Amino acid sequence: MSDNTHQAKKRFGQNFLVDDNIINRIIRAVSPKTGEHLVEIGPGLGALTEHLVNNDCQLDVVEIDRDLAEKLQQRYTNMPNFRLHLIDALKADFGAFAKPTQSLRVIGNLPYNISTPLLFHLLAYKPCIQDMHFMLQREVVDRLASPEGHKTYGRLSIMVQYHCHVEPLFVVPSTAFKPAPKVESAIVRLRPRHREVSVTDPVFFARVVNACFQQRRKTIRNGLKLILKELPANCVTNIDLGRRPETFSVDEFIDLANQLSASR
Ligand code: SAM
């Protein structure tokens, strides 16, 4: 929907996609199929929406900007498969969108200022999500996909990789947007996964990972000082706590958190 009358709002992270090649590449990556249930976060001026709404899919869109929501509602008022939610995606109940029999495919060129909290918000709805395709800052995609031992590996990598397979797809130059952002972007595909060994206490797992990465140069033992104080001495015997957190794989973090949790 080309629209020269809309003034992009910085506070809503509005950088609109204007490059048709990139738009088509994203749609090909998502590859919507007849009958699927799609959810687009931040449809904006409809660069992606236009391609998603015409696929005989149910399409729910979540937009915070009232001006844009009105334009979209007018535009798609005759499409029975289109449903607009004028709400903050961070507060949206995505579980309420899903039917018990069909999981959601989530898509979004996300506002960069809320991308990390939004990812965490969406992970809470993992059981009703089939996959997610997001445009994010390239640096965030690097962190999401980072293996252990890499300088970009940290809390975000572990928490997201615990829940999802992470597949970086392609880089998007800033010239693909209007207004152009200052940084490069990238498309990532996230597919919820089920691990053979899961964490016994998800809140405690998050606390352990968080504590370890407060100061990533410190050893795991140092990072966990406060948590270890609450536990019996030598409650973890088979893990070298003298290592640095960035050397621990996601499975090792699961093992560590589960052992600590069991001795509480
Ligand atoms: N999808 C469009 C495109 O690709 O051109 C717009 C992308 S723009 C980067 C981000 C969009 O998310 C804007 O439409 C903005 O108004 C919307 N947005 C920002 N914060 C939001 C929030 N908390 N909840 C829902 N939508 C939000």
Question: What span, in angstroms and rounded, lies between the C-alpha atoms of 59 and 39?
Answer: 6
Q: Sketch the domain layout of the chain as residue ranges.
A: 10-192, 202-263
Of 65, 66, 136, 172, best ligand 1 pocket probe by most atoms within 8 Å of the beta carbon: 65
Low-confidence ranges of the chain (pLDDT < 50): none
Residue whose CA is at the smallest distance from ligand 1 atom 12: 42
- pLDDT tens readout for residues 60-88: 999 999 999 999 999 999 999 999 999 99
Residue 259 is encoded by which pair of tokens?
A: 């052992």
Q: 50 CA distance to ligand 1 centroid (A)?
A: 15
Pocket-forming residues, ligand 1, beta carbon under 6 Å: 12-17, 41-45, 47-48, 62-65, 68, 88-90, 109, 111, 114
Architecture of domain 202-263: Orthogonal Bundle (1.10)
Nearest atom in ligand 1 to the alpha carbon of residue 90 is 23
Q: Are 255 and 242 in contact (CB under 8 A)?
A: no
3-class DSSP assignment, residue 161: helix
- pLDDT tens readout for residues 97-146: 999 999 999 999 999 999 999 999 999 999 999 999 999 999 999 999 99
Question: What span, in angstroms and rounded, lies between the C-alpha atoms of 216 and 219?
Answer: 8
Architecture of domain 10-192: 3-Layer(aba) Sandwich (3.40)
Task: Give the pLDDT score at 236.
Answer: 84
